């Protein structure tokens, strides 16, 4: 599958995601920080309730043994197929990647983040995802309401039958 199924987004959250000490600090940081209507960010789980899967790739793929984004990408490439935005539906996987070195496709060097499609109207603006932000928690966001360091390019995946 070629680069035709790569989409560009505009991440609106600048800077690093700071580590917070407790659920109250995380909730205060994220649920009360953004008043820009274009940012949709909702903390769903923090504290001990979200630690079943340690990182974004573990959470999205529901596999505890994956050790990195690169390993998660290998699993995607072996057991999932790339799909277009028009084919997207609830439960599909989204990956985020950077394109700093003229990379036109997701690879082990540029993959940054994984998420799960919660709902979509098959447009970039109408797609909501669930994703785990390190130790911060599980968030529900639109595609542009993620930290910029996750990358500005995305692609979608569906489990092969």
11 Cβ contact list (under 8 Å, min separation 6) = 144, 145, 146, 147, 148, 150, 151, 152
Give the pTM.
0.84
**Pick from 50-54, 105-109, 119-123: least confident:** 50-54
Residue 41 belongs to domain spanning: 3-159
pLDDT of residue 2: 45
- What is the average per-residue pLDDT within 93-109? 81
Rounded CA-CA distance 20/11 in Å is: 21
How many distinct structural domains can be found in the chain? 1
**CA-to-CA distance for 11 and 2, rounded, in angstroms?**
23
Name the pLDDT band for 113 (thresholds 50, 70, 90).
very high
């Amino acid at each position: 599958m070629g680069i035709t199924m790569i989409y560009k987004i505009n991440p609106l959250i600048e800077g690093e995601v700071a580590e917070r000490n407790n659920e109250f600090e995380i909730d205060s940081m994220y649920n009360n920080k953004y008043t820009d209507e274009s940012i949709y960010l909702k903390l769903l789980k923090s504290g001990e309730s979200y630690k079943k899967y340690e990182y974004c790739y573990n959470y999205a793929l529901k596999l505890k043994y994956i050790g990195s984004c690169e390993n998660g990408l290998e699993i995607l490439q072996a057991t999932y197929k790339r799909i277009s935005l028009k084919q997207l539906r609830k439960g599909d996987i989204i990956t985020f990647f950077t394109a700093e070195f003229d990379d036109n496709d997701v690879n082990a060097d540029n993959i940054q983040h994984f998420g799960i499609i919660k709902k979509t109207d098959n447009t970039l603006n109408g797609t909501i995802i669930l994703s785990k932000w390190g130790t911060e928690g599980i968030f529900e966001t639109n595609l542009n309401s993620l930290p910029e360091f996750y990358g500005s390019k995305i692609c979608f995946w569906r489990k092969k039958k």
